[in-house]
Amino acid sequence: MSNLSTTSSFSEVPAEPGNALKSVKSSGMALLKTTRDGRAAQLLTLLAVVGAAFTLVPFYLMVAISLKTPEEVAQNPWSLPRHPQWINYAHTWHITGTDVSFGTFFHNTLLIAVLSTVGTVMSSSIVAFGFSRLRFPGRERLFMLLLATMMLPGIVTLIPSFIGFRYLHWIDTLYPLIVPAFFSGAFNVFLLRQFLLTLPRELDEAARLDGASFFQIYWCILMPLCRPALVTVGLFAFIYAWKDLMGPLIYLNSTSNQTLELGLRTFDTMYGTIWNLLMAGSVIVLIPLLILFFAGQKYFVQGIVMSGLKD
């Protein structure tokens, strides 16, 4: 344990989740108490606004261009759209004139993203638990191997992977994009392992003494405490699957199997870019991710409930 005296704090934590939540509601706001440091809060808000402005400039352009006619895009790319062309979004969605619409791409991408997120979160947490909370021979070296798998650029394993998937008859299906997720990705295992290592050992030991199996420790005790990290992993996995270009490009053939990122490329060809439709498409593609992120915010505020820990 750290050097801080925590005995009193821990024994004061109530056992019921409801009250515990109340007491940790401000766990994230530990640095400043707004009631006292009003001016500091204002300064920070200002900083946040300036930073947000810098971040938003490209998005302003994206949305602005998406609402313009081609004429306006060429003449005045940076100004506010004079007559917002909401119809661009309709054109983009239907990819007017062609057989496959964004609806199909949406369906495919959603399927891939949801399934691979479920698979990633489940498998990464299991593997991370093994690497962080259980001691077994060879663990450190195996972990090095795990890290090592991230160090080779994916380009050179494309062809062998392709050949492998071909023999499984998985080419032009969604399998190559979903199944590997159920076997955990090194990035997420590493992330969760780091997070798990911040949780005190006493939790595990107490549970063992109570007769819990390792799976129960994993499932009932540690995972609930990991919610912010699990949400992060889930978010990353979803976003990665949503935005992935290389995988769908190589493994998917039929237009009806393709994903949103590939679909966006319809508007970016060797003849030049159809800017307004491409930007409209990009906005359509990122809105679900935004909603997801915004909705996941509450898990970042909840904090850790240190119930059941006695000294």
Partner 1 sequence: MKPLKLILLFAVATLSILPMAARADSKPVVIRFRYWGDVKEIAALQDTIAAFEKTHPNIIIHGERVPSGDEYVQKLLVEQAGGLTPDVVFCGDSYAQFADRGILRDLTPFLNKDHSVQISRYYGPIMRVFTDNGKIYALPRDIAPMGLVYYNKSLFDKAHIPYPDGSWTWDYVPHPERGNKDFLTVAKELTHIAPQSSESVYGFAPSWPAMAMDDFVFSSGASYVDDIYKPTRINFDDPRVINAIQLTQDLSEKYHVAPSLTDLQASAVTQHDLFAQGHVAMYLCGIWEVPRFREEINNKFDWDIAAFPAGPTGLHGVATGGSGYGITTASKHPAEDWEFLKCIAGPDGESRLAKTGLAQPSIASLSNSTLWLDGQRPMNRKLTIEEVPYVHFTVISPKWVEVKAIIDPKLQLVWSGTLSAKQAVQQLMGPAQGKLDELNHPPYHPILNWWYGAMAMAFVVLVLIGWVWQGAREDIRNGRRTGSRSEVRAGYMFIMPWLVGTAIFMLGPMLVSLLLSFSSWDMIEPAKWVGLGNFSEMAGDDRFWKSLQVTGLYTVFSVPLGVAGSLALALLLNTKIKGQATFRTLFYLPAVASAVAASLIWLRVFNPETGLLNYITGVLHLNPLLKAAGLTDPTSGYVNWLGNEKTALGSLIVMSLWGIGGGMVIYLAGLQGIPQSYYDAAEVDGANVFQKFRHVTLPLLTPTIFFTLIMGVIGSFQAFTQSFVMTGGGPNNATLFYVLYLYQNAFQFLKMGYASALAWVLFLIILCFTMLQMKMSKWVHYEGAEK
Residues 25-84 interacting with partner 1 (rule: CB under 8 A): 26-32, 34, 41, 44-45, 47-48, 51-52, 54-59, 61-62, 69-71, 73-75, 77-78
| 262 lies in the site for partner 1, by CB under 8 A | yes
**Cβ burial, residue 292 (10 Å; 0-12/13-18/19+):** middle
Q: ∠ at Cα 151 (146, 156), nearest 5°?
A: 115
Of these, 24, 110, 206, 212, which contacts partner 1 (CB under 8 A)? 24
The nearer residue to partner 1, 86 or 205, going by C-beta atoms, is: 205
Helix, strand, coil tally for the chain in percent (to 5): 70, 0, 30
The CB-of-297 to partner 1 minimum distance in angstroms stands at 4
Stretch 219-258: interaction string toward partner 1, x if CB under 8 A? x--------xx-xx--x---x--xx-x---xx--xxx-xx
- Is residue 124 within 8 A of residue 185, CB to CB? The reply is yes
Contacts to partner 1 from residues 96-115, by CB under 8 A: 96-100, 111, 115
The nearer residue to partner 1, 106 or 214, going by C-beta atoms, is: 214
- Is residue 10 within 8 A of residue 311, CB to CB? The reply is yes
Of these, 106, 212, 268, 307, which contacts partner 1 (CB under 8 A)? 268
Rounded to whole angstroms, how far apart are CA atoms 190 and 29?
27
Of these, 85, 190, 234, 241, which contacts partner 1 (CB under 8 A)? 190
- Tell me the sheet residues that pair with 13: none
The CB-of-186 to partner 1 minimum distance in angstroms stands at 8
| 160 lies in the site for partner 1, by CB under 8 A | yes
The CB-of-47 to partner 1 minimum distance in angstroms stands at 6
Of these, 106, 110, 171, 212, which contacts partner 1 (CB under 8 A)? 171
Q: From the CB of residue 162, how many other CB atoms can be counted at a distance below 10 Å?
A: 14
Give the Å distances, CA to CA, from 52 to 49, 127, 300: 5, 37, 20
Contacts to partner 1 from residues 196-215, by CB under 8 A: 196-201, 214-215
Sign for the pseudo-dihedral over CA of 82, 59, 232, 187: positive
The CB-of-252 to partner 1 minimum distance in angstroms stands at 9
- Is residue 174 within 8 A of residue 113, CB to CB? The reply is no
The CB-of-228 to partner 1 minimum distance in angstroms stands at 4
DSSP character string of 234-277: HHHHHHHHHH--HHHHHH--SGGG--HHHHHGGGEETTEE-HHH
- Tell me the sheet residues that pair with 272: 269
Stretch 120-159: interaction string toward partner 1, x if CB under 8 A? --xx--xx-xxxxxxxxxxxxxx-xxxxxxxxxx-xxxxx
The nearer residue to partner 1, 47 or 90, going by C-beta atoms, is: 47
Rounded to whole angstroms, how far apart are CA atoms 209 and 188?
30
Count, residues near partner 1 per rule CB under 8 A: 166
Of these, 178, 207, 237, 241, which contacts partner 1 (CB under 8 A)? 178
Here the tokens at position 132 are 């962080």
| 285 lies in the site for partner 1, by CB under 8 A | yes
